[in-house]
Chain A
Amino acid sequence: MTTRSFNPLSRSVAGPLPSRALNAPRQALVEVEFDGTPSQVNRRPVALVREEWRVVDRWWTEEPVSRRYFEVVLDSGENTVVFRDEEKGGWFAQRA
């Protein structure tokens, strides 16, 4: 047998842990109406769209941001915020 896989020092010289973003967007499964407003979020029906707004930022950079946010109330009574990433496509949930 060999010694190479076993290194008791591996923990003692491990590097520092990186910081991470708080409230990072999480992928969401969203179905939409004809006008683009959410009708289902993660397979749960939307009872009410409370608010809608846009965030367009960093348009002067290589990674522009263009998002269409919706604050919705699900039929379970839960309040949630989702947005459509209009640059890369796809829906995400995030606390706004």
Chain B
Amino acid sequence: MIASILIPGFELRAALLRRPSLALGPAALAPLPGTEPRLGPVTAAAEAAGVRPGMRLGEALSMCPSLVLVEHDPASAGEEWEGILRRLEDAGFAVEPAEPGCLYFETRGVERLYGGVEAALRRALAAVGSQWDPRAGAADRRFAALAAAGVARAGQILVVAGEHTRDFLAPLPLTLLSLEPDRHEELSELGVRTLGELAGLPGAAVADRLGPDGRRAWSLARGGSSGGVAARRPAAELAVALEFPEAVGNELTLRRALWALLDRVLALPERAGREPRKLVVSARLVGGGSWRRSATLREATADVARLRAALGPKLAELTAPVLKLGIELTELGDSAGRQLELVRPEGDELRVRLREGLRQTRSSAGAGAVCTVVEVAPWSRLPEQRALLVPRD
């Protein structure tokens, strides 16, 4: 079976770790700078005062003037999430993290170890820690497992047997699918309010009416694909940090500190000649905030110049003076060997590399970063009507 563990409002919980007293009062995760002014997850006290996640900031503050806005704490969230994943891995679960607060794992390998699915899930919840209020779900399909975890209460386990998956999903609301609001409205106008009602419609008709995302939602409502879990490789634990006697805002000083940290982390004997593939730079900021950025390299390398080129620009994104700067190697390559090229690539080899480059561009810069230019009216007298940029996804 596939199991899912959910920690609702994980980022707010992580941000409140340093200010636990706020968890008891009305508080909400503040919107990120430069984004729409909508609230993130909220505490129970805030919800009791009528504040809802996703509510506009002005509306929330007028409804609950004592609402405390909690700044994001990405460094704490990253550290805590990594800690949870490592505790699960230590307990024998090969986890696939979906995003902070949500992960999957296969129960097949651990059922005999712990004496059944439920016992394994209980062990997993214990590994996560009760302070996070985790909930677990298990089913034959990923979506059903996630839905089961979504409807379970804190600390509860919900196992859906294969033959009951459709019956379990049928009464659940469509909000689990997180379609565009106008799609929800459209479905509501058509009288479709539950996953079961959506699953009961003909797939072709849904695709025709709602497009590819509607078709995907329809497929999920019927249980989703039977894809397995791609467990991550357990992360390396190579980290070094530097505390400054007073806050540093000068980028040149920070850059020098980062280079020194880079040299120190590469010199750690635990690295055993393996080359880093993914690095994380984190900082504790003046005023209690934190900052965290990761860099995934196209290929593992221990070349200092290339690592500096990948990490240096991240420092420009710091938002406040730094009290503590850290660097962590979170993924390492397999071996220290490197095969050099004798002949320049061409033909199929070149195409494969180009495709891989485009894939990496897309994964780092987001969907829509790779486009094709399609001529639609090259004869037009208006230059902007001659060609379109069509995303290649």
Binding site for B on A (CB under 8 A): 1-10, 12-17, 19-25, 55, 57, 65, 94-96
Contact = CB atoms under 8 A, between A and B. Distances in A.
Given A1-B133, A22-B388, A6 B8 contact: yes
Interface in B18-44: 39-44
A6 B383 contact: no
Nearest to B99: A8
Given A7-B178, A8-B102, A13-B177, A22 B220 contact: no
B70 to A, nearest CB: 12
Interface residues of B, number: 52
A17 B9 contact: no
B367 interface: yes
A22 B133 CA distance: 49
Given A1-B133, A10-B178, A19 B53 contact: no
B384 A19 contact: no
A20 B42 CA distance: 37
B112 interface: no
21 contacts: A1-B8, A1-B44, A2-B9, A5-B42, A5-B53, A6-B9, A6-B102, A8-B6, A8-B146, A9-B176, A9-B178, A13-B177, A13-B178, A15-B213, A16-B391, A17-B367, A17-B368, A17-B391, A21-B388, A23-B386, A95-B383
Contacts of B39: 5
A84 B41 CA distance: 47
A23 B385 CA distance: 8
Contacts of B143: 9
Nearest to A20: B389
Contact of A23 (B40, B220, B387): B387
Given A2-B9, A3-B6, A9-B178, A22 B216 contact: no
Interface SS of chain B: helix, strand, loop or mixed? mixed
B393 interface: yes
Contact of A3 (B150, B368, B388): B150
A55 B9 CA distance: 55
B384 A3 contact: no
A83 to B, nearest CB: 10
Contacts of B393: 16-17
Given A4-B54, A20-B388, A22-B388, 8 more contacts: A3-B6, A5-B53, A6-B53, A8-B6, A8-B102, A13-B179, A21-B385, A21-B388
A15 B98 CA distance: 19
Interface string B144-172: 00100010000000000000000000000
A40 to B, nearest CB: 23
Interface in B83-119: 98-99, 101-102
B217 interface: yes
A10 B179 CA distance: 7
